[in-house]
């Protein structure tokens, strides 16, 4: 195991299994998510389960009831295209590997099945579901060892492969920088999808760089010239348009999501968003 992998394992295991975080430090509950029925609210019910649309129509509070399941099928899939090689504080692919470890250890802590899928221009890895800590460590190493350079991010192929290959209804975590055309409609109907957007702050707020030579980490094509304020403004506008489409797509299809930056600790933010 490399030094980088050891550091991430020690850090994430402490966060997930640490006693300071209480008896339920896992990112998600072991309760199933298979919808059963609606019923009128009873004092003591979890207010987070209130269906506000039905409540507004009936003018009485109604809650969603779910079938209890003994275990969840937790699938974490990372889109490791060439753009994930970038990072000013740390590479995005390394940050994504840490997220794989956090989610994997949380699944194991809950005695849930965990599997990991690496995708870029095609499928590179699909691990077997497991409840063993060793499997999480193994997938962390696979993510860190993966070389994203020269690989395009094929979002259409990613969604299609996950739809076909992940048979059982799952809690599906999709980790990517999500720059490009994304269509997760079919996946969101079959699985409970949670999208994690990983970005570098310089990516979203770049400064004028002057005259330089740039290389596209996905295609390998190079550009040499002046990168001034007007170029940066056009880039920012394009990225904002990309994110506007992305968030609208998530809201329309009921996909929960969170954006994480490579210079911030992911665990606390994930806990808050998952709850």
In a domain, 232, yes or no: yes
Its sign, for the CA torsion 199, 201, 203, 205, is positive
The segments of the chain whose pLDDT lies below 50 read: 19-25, 29-32
178 lies in the same domain as 56: no
234 lies in the same domain as 158: yes
Q: What is the pLDDT of residue 36?
A: 66
55 lies in the same domain as 76: no
Question: Which CATH number is 234's domain given?
Answer: 3.40.50.410
Q: What is the pLDDT of residue 166?
A: 94
Q: What is the pLDDT of residue 25?
A: 46
Q: What is the pLDDT of residue 30?
A: 43
136 lies in the same domain as 222: yes
Inter-residue contact 107 to 183 (CB < 8 Å): no
In a domain, 169, yes or no: yes
Q: What is the pLDDT of residue 205?
A: 87
Q: What is the pLDDT of residue 27?
A: 58
What is the percent of the chain with per-residue pLDDT over 90, rounded to a whole number?
Answer: 57
Provide the residue range defining the domain that includes 50: 34-67
Kindly compute the dihedral angle of the four CA atoms of residues 64, 65, 66, 68, in this order, to the nearest 10 degrees: 150
In a domain, 214, yes or no: yes
Tell me the residue length of the chain.
275
In a domain, 29, yes or no: no
Q: What is the pLDDT of residue 234?
A: 87
Its sign, for the CA torsion 49, 186, 95, 24, is positive
Q: What is the pLDDT of residue 28?
A: 55
In a domain, 128, yes or no: yes
| Distance in angstroms (rounded) separating the CA atoms of residues 184 and 168 | 17
Pick from 12, 46, 67: which residue ends a domain? 67
Per-residue pLDDT tens digits for 206-249:
877 777 777 778 877 877 777 778 888 888 999 999 999 999 99
49 lies in the same domain as 102: no
Domain total for the chain? 2
124 lies in the same domain as 194: yes
101 lies in the same domain as 129: yes
105 lies in the same domain as 235: yes
In a domain, 125, yes or no: yes
206 lies in the same domain as 131: yes
50 lies in the same domain as 116: no
In a domain, 63, yes or no: yes
Residue found by looking up tokens 């740390």 in the block: 90
In a domain, 27, yes or no: no
Q: What is the pLDDT of residue 145?
A: 95
60 lies in the same domain as 172: no
269 lies in the same domain as 192: yes
């Amino acid at each position: 195991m490399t030094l980088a992998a050891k550091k991430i394992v020690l850090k994430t295991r402490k966060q997930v299994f640490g006693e300071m975080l209480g008896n339920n430090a896992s990112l998600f509950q072991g309760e199933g998510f298979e919808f059963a029925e609606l019923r009128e609210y009873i004092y003591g019910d979890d207010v987070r389960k209130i269906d506000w649309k039905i409540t507004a129509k009936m003018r009485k509070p109604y809650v969603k009831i779910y079938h209890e399941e003994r275990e969840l099928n937790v699938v974490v899939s990372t889109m490791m295209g060439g753009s994930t090689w970038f990072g000013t504080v740390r590479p995005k692919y390394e940050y994504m590997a840490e997220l794989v470890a956090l989610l994997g250890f949380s699944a194991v802590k809950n005695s849930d099945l965990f599997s990991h899928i690496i995708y870029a221009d095609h499928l590179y890895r699909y691990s077997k579901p497991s409840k063993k800590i060793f499997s999480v460590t193994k997938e962390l190493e696979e993510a860190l060892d993966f070389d994203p350079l020269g690989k395009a991010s094929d979002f259409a192929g990613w969604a299609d492969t996950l739809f076909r290959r992940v048979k059982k209804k799952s809690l599906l975590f999709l980790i990517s920088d999500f720059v490009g055309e994304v269509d997760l409609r079919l996946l969101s109907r079959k699985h409970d999808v949670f999208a994690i957007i990983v970005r570098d702050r310089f990516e979203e707020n770049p400064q004028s760089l002057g005259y330089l030579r740039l290389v596209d980490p996905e295609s390998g094509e190079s550009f040499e010239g002046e990168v001034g304020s007007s170029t940066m403004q056009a880039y920012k506008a394009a990225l904002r348009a990309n994110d506007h489409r992305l968030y609208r797509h998530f809201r329309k299809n009921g996909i929960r999501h969170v954006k994480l930056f490579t210079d911030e600790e992911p665990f606390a933010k994930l806990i808050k968003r998952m709850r």
